[in-house]
Amino acid sequence: LLCFRSPLVTRLIFGLLLQAALTQLSIITQPNFVLFLADDLGIGDIGCYGNDTIRTPNIDRLAKEGVKLTQHIAAAPLCTPSRAAFLTGRYPLRSGMDAINNYRVIFWNAGSGGLPPNETTFAKLLQQQGYSTGLIGKWHQGVNCESRNDHCHHPLKHGFDYFYGMPFTLISDCQPTETPEMDRAFRRKLWLSTQMIGLVTLTAALGRLTGLISVHWKILTCLAGFSLLFFVSWFSSYGFVRYWNCIMMRNHGITEQPMVTDRTTSLILRESISFIERNKHKPFLLFLSFLHSHTPLLTTEKFLGRSRHGLYGDNVEEMDWMVGQVLDAIDKEGLKDTTLVYFASDHGGWLERQEGKRQLGGWNGIYRGGKAMGGWEGGIRVPGIFRWPGVLPAGRVIDEPTSLMDIYPTIVHLAGGAVPQDRVIDGRDLLPLLRGTVVHSEHEFLFHYCGIHLHAVRWHQKDSGAVWKAHYVTPIFSPPGAGACYDRGFCPCFGEGVTHHDPPLLFELSQDPSEAKPLSADTEPLFDTVIRKIGRAIEEHRRTLTPVPEQLSVYNVVWKPWLQPCCGTFPFCWCDKEGDN
């Protein structure tokens, strides 16, 4: 009997140890990563976050089969800085990717600013671990530094083996039938100035010809030359936005200049699925950076008129369909159980984006504010969904504060890499929280910037579960009480368009997520304690900041013809390498 039991017990113990080892192995073995990042999508635009007018069954399925984060926070309320933080795991002002002026994003493919070469993205670290890394879609982190082909800010210099998409961002100027969007107010001023200078020149010339005004021909010639020079100086950039900014690239080569918007969606989807098929036999990272749901809301005909939320809803439903197609490709290749899928938006929906009575921006649910607002929840609280069958529990909902910057350490650790030790990494590894092995997020404080200006700070008081948020600066809504800056198009970060609060506005988000009822020392006994605690955290945080070159300075943002990507001989830049001919 003992001889029988001994081998049985031995086999049983061995089996249990082997199962534990295999379970652990499933965690540490390099999974594939598919990261979906929407553009300008509001947290209230998705079914699993409460929307009932836009159908998003595929994104909802991810939440049902995985983990949904309800307090997932972008590090900035605009594309360029938010994506810089996402890629580096660091607040954007640490890399110089947040604005000191009103130019808060990369404005031109031919600007010299961008994600600095000395920044280490998660793609670069995964590349070092043997991953195939691909970026499909939007970049918006700059292209060149000193010459047209140095590609110092290009995705291939930041750890991506393959890039197909827009080095810039989608704007209404890319669609010939749409009203120009880029720097619209400034362009109007330039046109008006040109007309006034031209009118002065014409009046002087007519006065000279009729003898009513005594003006020397040399003065007239100089005036006419100045008029022409002024016009050319700005029209050479703003007059050709579609050719300069609306381009598609494959790696370093330009495939469309300008882009043919009718086929952009199908090409991005084709490239995404192709990348999965080409790399299915080795670990891969696919970062699908959607052009949806940014204006001009490129939507194929079969999705037009399908939603109950107009063109914006149609566009979101098409994006959801694209998510489903990529998930189907993962399933088809048998990669579902070895692939961590993540879905998020770069920041909140754009409330002010309207054309007449058409609302072209997103909805941020119950949260106050929207895109460009650094402090209010509507500008920075975004969807956040993870799925990894067999590793992450299905249907789990987490209310803890998390950040888009957390993707960086999370996937780097899963890939077997280590985060850099020579710089501050603000993101935290989310895997223990996602799996349920810890209850609380590692974030005690999150700092909410608008450009380089600190607008608000969040304190997660873990012992009580309270989430305090202090606002030091808030935008002035226009018209008053409107909930956004409709008269401006964007809410500013500083100047006459903001209000400074001393003492700060304080909210307890777990009780008041809409930030509707500010607390005071009279209504909240802990008011002074909370404000002092947050104040000390700000002082400690600022001690970790070091001066860096400003990538969004006026000089770095302006159009430079010698940096303009061009598929011909500049300025004759035109090509279509995706067409039938």
Tell me the per-residue pLDDT of 363-394, one tens digit each, with 9 for 90 and over: 999 999 999 999 999 999 999 999 999 999 99
Q: Residue 449: pLDDT above 50?
A: yes
For residues 243 and 247, what is the distance between their CA atoms, to the nearest angstrom? Answer: 7
Q: Residue 272: pLDDT above 80?
A: yes
At residue 471, the pLDDT reads 98
For residues 300 and 290, what is the distance between their CA atoms, to the nearest angstrom? Answer: 15
At residue 27, the pLDDT reads 52
**φ/ψ (deg, to 5) at 72:** -95, 125
What is the band of 24 on the pLDDT scale with cuts at 50, 70, 90? very low
What is the band of 23 on the pLDDT scale with cuts at 50, 70, 90? very low
- Name the one residue in this structure whose structure tokens are 């104040």: 535
Question: Which comes out higher in pLDDT, residue 5 or 471?
Answer: 471
| Beta carbons within 8 Å of 420's beta carbon, 6+ residues apart | 120
| pTM for the full predicted model | 0.92
List strand residue ranges (DSSP E) for 290-401, in order. 339-345, 354-355, 358-359, 381-387, 396-398
Question: Which comes out higher in pLDDT, residue 581 or 219?
Answer: 219
The residue type of 264 is: T
For residues 495 and 484, what is the distance between their CA atoms, to the nearest angstrom? Answer: 17
Q: Residue 201: pLDDT above 70?
A: yes
For residues 373 and 478, what is the distance between their CA atoms, to the nearest angstrom? Answer: 13
| Beta carbons within 8 Å of 487's beta carbon, 6+ residues apart | 478, 479
For residues 203 and 579, what is the distance between their CA atoms, to the nearest angstrom? Answer: 49
At residue 366, the pLDDT reads 97
At residue 205, the pLDDT reads 84
Average pLDDT score over residue span 100-105: 92
The proportion of the chain whose per-residue pLDDT surpasses 90, expressed as a percent, equals 81
At residue 580, the pLDDT reads 54
pLDDT, the chain, mean = 93
Question: Parallel, antiparallel, or unpaired for β 284-289 and 32-38?
Answer: parallel
First-to-final CA distance of the chain: 81
Q: Which fold has domain 33-170+246-563?
A: Alkaline Phosphatase, subunit A (3.40.720)
At residue 154, the pLDDT reads 98
Question: Domain boundaries in the chain?
Answer: 33-170+246-563, 184-239
For residues 381 and 375, what is the distance between their CA atoms, to the nearest angstrom? Answer: 10
The residue type of 304 is: L
Q: What is the pLDDT of residues 282-319, one digit of tens each?
A: 999 999 999 999 999 999 999 999 999 999 999 999 99
Question: Parallel, antiparallel, or unpaired for β 358-359 and 132-138?
Answer: unpaired
At residue 579, the pLDDT reads 75
Question: Parallel, antiparallel, or unpaired for β 32-38 and 339-345?
Answer: parallel
Angle between helices 264-278 and 310-332 in degrees, nearest 10: 20
Angle between helices 184-210 and 217-238 in degrees, nearest 10: 160
- Could you give the 3-state DSSP secondary structure of residue 320? helix
At residue 2, the pLDDT reads 40
Q: Are the C-beta atoms of 400 and 90 separated by less than 8 Å?
A: no
Using DSSP, how many helices (H) and how many strands (E) does the chain show?
A: 14, 18
- Catalytically active residues, by annotation: 79, 140
- Closest of 484, 466, 467 to residue 475, by C-alpha: 484
Q: Residue 486: pLDDT above 90?
A: yes
At residue 216, the pLDDT reads 79
For residues 511 and 290, what is the distance between their CA atoms, to the nearest angstrom? Answer: 34
HSE-CB of 134 using CA atoms within 13 angstroms: 26
List strand residue ranges (DSSP E) for 18-88, in order. 32-38, 67-73
Cα dihedral across residues 63, 69, 74, 75: positive or negative: negative
At residue 567, the pLDDT reads 95
What is the band of 18 on the pLDDT scale with cuts at 50, 70, 90? very low
| Beta carbons within 8 Å of 569's beta carbon, 6+ residues apart | none
At residue 202, the pLDDT reads 86
> Which residues make beta-bridge pairs with 343?
36, 385
What is the band of 536 on the pLDDT scale with cuts at 50, 70, 90? very high
What is the band of 60 on the pLDDT scale with cuts at 50, 70, 90? very high
- Cβ-in-10-Å burial (0-12, 13-18, 19+) of 560 comes to middle
- Closest of 577, 533, 574, 564 to residue 255, by C-alpha: 577
- Cβ-in-10-Å burial (0-12, 13-18, 19+) of 576 comes to middle
Q: Residue 445: pLDDT above 90?
A: yes
Q: What is the pLDDT of residues 333-362, one digit of tens each?
A: 999 999 999 999 999 999 999 888 889 999
At residue 50, the pLDDT reads 95
Q: Residue 183: pLDDT above 90?
A: no
Q: Residue 188: pLDDT above 70?
A: yes
At residue 8, the pLDDT reads 46
The proportion of the chain whose per-residue pLDDT surpasses 70, expressed as a percent, equals 95
For residues 539 and 316, what is the distance between their CA atoms, to the nearest angstrom? Answer: 41
For residues 241 and 181, what is the distance between their CA atoms, to the nearest angstrom? Answer: 10
Average pLDDT score over residue span 569-574: 95
